[in-house]
Amino acid sequence: MSAPVPPVLEARDLARSFGGVKAVDGASFSVEAGKLVALIGPNGAGKTTCFNMLNGQIKPDRGEVLLAGQPITGLAPRKIWRLGVGRTFQITATFASMTVRENVQMALISHAGKSWRLFGRADQRRLGPADALLAQVGMAEQAEHACGVLAYGDLKRVELAVALANEPKLLLMDEPTAGMAPQERIALMALTARIARQRGIAVLFTEHDMDVVFAHADRVLVLDRGRLIASGTSAEVRSNPQVRAVYLGSGVTSGGH
């Protein structure tokens, strides 16, 4: 009998407080390859803190993060990235002085371990893979545009392409559709879901828009005041009375805000 394959991401009893306030208090969950898992909860529930601990930006007070069974707790973000974790941000973070293609090229160059090269034009490197990624997210036509002048939705797509550049096992997406028009949201998450399933990538995302969550998430984790209060399929979570109480209490129901 072979050992069971560990999940791509596993969080065990993560906790972190700021000045006595427990932002995250003992969260445990896991994400499997090819699955989209949504992490939801009202504002201040601890979603972003949770994310930042997974990504290495914040060190947890307690608990462990495992990537494919390997502990990555407390590693620097760039080391976690090297192990195969892509990340998108709530407020898009791209390189404004580069073109769309160069943004992706930069990530590819870094993935290939060539970012310290002192000669050879960077914009001539890894053109093919960059264009392929851009085609995948539907940004091929705007490859030559400066990132500084793109529309917000397009920036999100660029971020996705950048996040995919290191052939990640895991994608961490913090509010991937924030600030987008409803139509675009559905399209972007559909795209993400397709890519994730194709490549067997595990995706953990936070989201405010419940339509997006219930349409695409294979599983939903609900965080409230730092604690995980529910976990299950969309239907299970939707019918969970505790979840309903939390969301009704905060005035948010399914169907967006």
Locate tokens 């998450």: which residue? 189
Q: Give me the least distance between CB of 4 and another protein, in Å please.
A: 30
* Residue 223 C-beta: closest distance to another protein, Å: 22
Member of 5, 21, 96, 248 binding another protein (CB under 8 A): 96
Site string for another protein, 114-153 (x = CB under 8 A): xxxxxxxxxx-x--------------------x-x-----
Residue 235: HSE in the Cβ half-sphere, 13 Å Cα cutoff? 0
Q: Whose Cβ is closer to another protein: residue 51's or residue 214's?
A: 51
Residue in 16, 101, 111, 169 binding another protein, rule: CB under 8 A? 111
Token digits of residue 208: 């405010």
**Interacting span for another protein (CB under 8 A) from 27-35, 93-101, 181-189, 195-203:** 93-101
Phi and psi torsions of 33, nearest 5°? -55, 140
**Can you tell me the distance from the alpha carbon of 68 to that of 49, in angstroms, rounded to the nearest whole number?**
21
Question: Judged by CB under 8 A, which stretch of 82-90, 195-203, 206-214, 225-233 contacts another protein?
Answer: 82-90
Closest contact distance (angstroms) between CB of 212 and another protein is 22
The helix (H) or strand (E) run that includes residue 193 is helix 182-199
**Residue from 166, 192, 231, 234 that binds another protein (CB under 8 A)?**
166
Q: E strand or H helix at 17, and its extent? A: strand 9-18
Nearer to another protein by C-beta: 146 or 229? 146
Total residues contacting another protein by CB under 8 A comes to 39
Do 101 and 144 touch, CB atoms closer than 8 A?
yes
Tokens of 117: 């090269």
CB of 117 to another protein, least distance (A): 4
- In the complex, what is the shortest distance from the CB of residue 147 to another protein, in angstroms, rounded to a whole number? 8
Q: List binders of another protein among 5-64 (CB under 8 A).
A: 55
Minimum CB separation from another protein for residue 121, in Å? 5
**162 is a site residue for another protein (CB under 8 A):** yes
* Beta strand extents in 154-240 (DSSP E only): 170-174, 202-206, 219-224, 227-232
| Least separation in angstroms between CB 59 and another protein | 15
In DSSP notation, 73-120 reads TT--HHHHHHTTEEEE-SS----TTSBHHHHHHHHHHHHTT-TT--SS
Question: What is the helix (H) or strand (E) element at residue 48, kind and residue range?
Answer: helix 47-55
At 115, list the tokens.
């970012």
Nearest residue to 53 via CA among 27, 84, 88: 27
What number of other Cβ atoms are within 10 A of residue 83's Cβ? 16
Site for another protein in 173-232 (CB under 8 A): none
What residues make contact with another protein under the rule CB under 8 A?
A: 55, 76-78, 81-82, 87, 89, 93-99, 102, 105-107, 109-111, 114-123, 125, 146, 148, 162-163, 165-166
